[in-house]
Amino acid sequence: MKLLIGSDHGGYHLKEHIKKYLTEKGYEMVDVGTDSEDSCDYPDFAQKLCNGITQGTAEKGILICGTGIGISIAANKCAGIRAALCNEVYGAKMSRQHNDANVLCMGARVIGVGTAELIVDTWLNTDFEGGRHQRRVAKIMALEEK
């Protein structure tokens, strides 16, 4: 499975770790940057990753900044994106089952690498439940037209 991944400087080291972790598990990782710890602006990388999803490069992506907050706010401004900030495992599971999140956001200054690995594994291995949740997700997406 192909996956997009991106971060700002605050998430750079965790991005590199998760990229390696998932590559070793057989995922094809497409890295949209950033490429160093040099200060940069998280909306730029949120936009790059979300463009990759809407253009069909991959169905899902992972975004990381210091808290996960800024990059998730930015991602949710992009059409077609349902970005979920998950710094714990339960939220990661629910964001797939109930919200059909297509972007996972994490905060590198909030969680350690072990927790991040569990979050990513859970998020990638949980399916959307559909049913009543499909109606709600459709209503979320309709907000883009209002």
Enumerate the active-site residues.
Answer: 65, 98
**Nearest-approach distance from CB 70 to ligand RB5, in angstroms:** 3
Closest residue to ligand RB5: CB criterion: 70
How far apart are the C-alpha atoms of 44 and 114, rounded to whole Å? Answer: 27
Residue number, 27 or 45, with CB nearest to ligand RB5: 45
Q: Which of residues 5, 6, 10, 12 is near ligand RB5 by CB under 6 A?
A: 10
Q: Please count the residues of this chain forming the interface with ligand RB5, following the rule CB under 6 A.
A: 8
Q: Are 18 and 117 in contact (CB under 8 A)?
A: yes
CB neighbour class for 20 (10 Å; exposed up to 12, middle 13-18, buried from 19): exposed
Using the rule CB under 6 A, which residue among 6, 8, 75, 99 binds ligand RB5?
A: 8
Which CB atom, from 17 or from 93, has the smaller least distance to ligand RB5? 17
Chain center to CA of 56: 15
Distance CA 18, CA 134 (A): 30
- Given a contact cutoff of 8 angstroms between Cβ atoms, the answer to whether 103 and 63 are in contact is yes
When the beta carbons of 65 and 100 are compared against ligand RB5, the nearer one is 65
Smallest distance from ligand RB5 to CB 69, Å: 4
Subset of residues 54 to 113 that bind ligand RB5, contact rule: CB under 6 A: 65-67, 69-70
Closest by alpha carbon to 63, among 79, 84, 80, 78? 84
Q: How far is the CB of 45 from ligand RB5 (least distance, A)?
A: 10
Distance, CA of 105 to CA of 49 (rounded, Å): 12
Instruction: Catalog residues that contact ligand RB5 under the rule CB under 6 A.
Output: 8, 10, 42, 65-67, 69-70
